[in-house]
Structure 1
Amino acid sequence: MPQATLKELEELVWKRLAEGAGPGLSPFTMWQLATAGLDGAPQVRTVVLRGAERATGRLVLHTDLRSAKVAELRREPRLAMVVSDLPNYRQIRIEGRATIHAGDEVAQAAWAANRPHTLILYQTPYAPGTLVASPELAQPPAAVSGAAGFANFAVIRVALERIEYLDISPGAHRRAVFYRGASSWSGGWVAP
């Protein structure tokens, strides 16, 4: 998209975010999430994009409430995320602030909208990152038990503050940044 205007590029970014949050797998589904660890050291892990709400400027992630990222984001809600579409030479980076939802209406609605094979993941007997003697000990049960899994389920809503789009296609390097204002996004070109 070498001749795109900033407005067209903003449209493309939101289209890719919606694609990543939609059913199926796309290059924009699995993101790297960076947080400040409880000891202050940077922490990075892969997360699945579950929602992209353009009207509110939010992204949605689901996680195990017992995971380290929840404690980290409760302590320091600022985060950064990046996704790369390597075959097409594109990258999207975002910065924002997280809000954790657990046991509330937001979490209940997300839980109800999930597929059973996803919900089973929240019923593992150990918190993510717990040392176990063998992988089999940490496997979820074969059947979904709503209450058991929901107790470990959380929604992370990310209020976006900054979106950066980078295209390093051969001969057409372009980079743009968009900032969320009080009522709309503004953007500009930056050197790649």
Structure 2
Amino acid sequence: MDQIVDMVWAHLHAGANAGKERSPFTMLQAATIALDGAPAVRTVVLRRASREQRSVMFHTDVRSTKVAELRRDPRISLLGCDLDAGIQIRLHGVASIVEATSVRRHVWNSSQPRTLIVYRTPFAPATPVTSPAQAHAATHAENMGPSAGFENFCLIEVTVSRIDYLDLNPAGHMRASLVFEDGEWRGTWIAP
């Protein structure tokens, strides 16, 4: 099982540090419990993975519905899949909204400007607009400084407590369930 744990965190680390060549684990599906109790799933970009802290991080707009959902119920599941290799990784954990301005500012300053432009819009995500251009009217304003939109920038850190690993190898599918207990990952093989 140690090899599976190593492989999972290597995939997540590659996803968070992909650069120009995307990793299949850069874009993850995040599932939360919607405010009406229904499931809610959307795509997030993995920004950090730390095996030592058993955590992953993504950022989002503080005005988004997912932030309200996580404030109400911090349970979250994340799913990544490499279709070519037939590898699926599911993470289960608890999300924390990072409130420390110094941490948020560090991540903001180390991010590519093109990834931060979405936080400049005057509209919260999912706000009805008359046209796509209206939603982005303020994002390209010439008089905006490098901190424009920072007030909408939200970091979500997920502490991972359970991992489900699936390998759809043609020679035989393998699936493992990993749980973090007593300071270590413990795993069992389960039927795919």
TM-score, normalised on structure 2? 0.93
Q: Aligned equivalents of 1:95 and 1:183: distance in 2?
A: 17
Residue 3 of structure 1 is matched in structure 2 by none
Residue 179 of structure 2 is matched in structure 1 by 179
Structure 1 gaps, min length 5: 1-5
Q: Aligned equivalents of 1:103 and 1:15: distance in 2?
A: 28
Instruction: Quote the sequence identity (%).
Output: 47
Secondary structure of 1:117's aligned partner: helix
Cα 1:27–1:12 shift into 2, 3 Å:
same
Q: Aligned equivalents of 1:134 and 1:78: distance in 2?
A: 34
Cα 1:109–1:182 shift into 2, 3 Å:
farther
Q: Aligned equivalents of 2:80 and 2:87: distance in 1?
A: 9
Structure 2 gaps, min length 5: none
Matches within 5 A, 1:128-167: 128-139=125-136, 140-142=139-141, 145-167=145-167
Q: Aligned equivalents of 1:8 and 1:177: distance in 2?
A: 13
Size of the aligned set, in residue pairs, is: 187
For residues 132-180 of structure 1, the C-alpha deviation after alignment (integer angstroms, 9 at most, x for no partner) is 0000001122555344311000100000010111011213200011111
For residues 55-80 of structure 1, the C-alpha deviation after alignment (integer angstroms, 9 at most, x for no partner) is 10000001011110000000000011
Q: Find out whether 1:26 has 2:23 as its counterpart.
A: yes
Secondary structure of 1:119's aligned partner: helix
Residue 48 of structure 1 is matched in structure 2 by 45
Cα 1:121–1:149 shift into 2, 3 Å:
same
Worse-superposed segment, 40-49 or 106-115: 106-115
- Give the counterpart of 1:97 among 91, 94, 103: 94
Secondary structure of 2:123's aligned partner: coil
Residue 189 of structure 2 is matched in structure 1 by 189
Contact (CA 8 Å) 1:65, 1:102: kept in 2 or not?
no
Contact (CA 8 Å) 1:122, 1:152: kept in 2 or not?
yes
Cα 1:175–1:88 shift into 2, 3 Å:
same
- Give the counterpart of 2:9 among 14, 22, 25: 14
Secondary structure of 1:88's aligned partner: coil
Q: CA deviation at 1:7?
A: 1.1
Q: Aligned equivalents of 1:102 and 1:148: distance in 2?
A: 18
Contact (CA 8 Å) 1:124, 1:141: kept in 2 or not?
no
TM-score, normalised on structure 1? 0.93
Instruction: Please give the root-mean-square deviation of Cα atoms over the aligned residues, in Å.
Output: 1.3
Contact (CA 8 Å) 1:103, 1:151: kept in 2 or not?
no
Contact (CA 8 Å) 1:93, 1:165: kept in 2 or not?
yes
For residues 82-124 of structure 1, the C-alpha deviation after alignment (integer angstroms, 9 at most, x for no partner) is 1111111110001000001246222112111111111212101
Residue 78 of structure 1 is matched in structure 2 by 75
Q: Aligned equivalents of 2:63 and 2:100: distance in 1?
A: 13
- Give the counterpart of 2:66 among 65, 69, 88: 69
Contact (CA 8 Å) 1:162, 1:179: kept in 2 or not?
yes
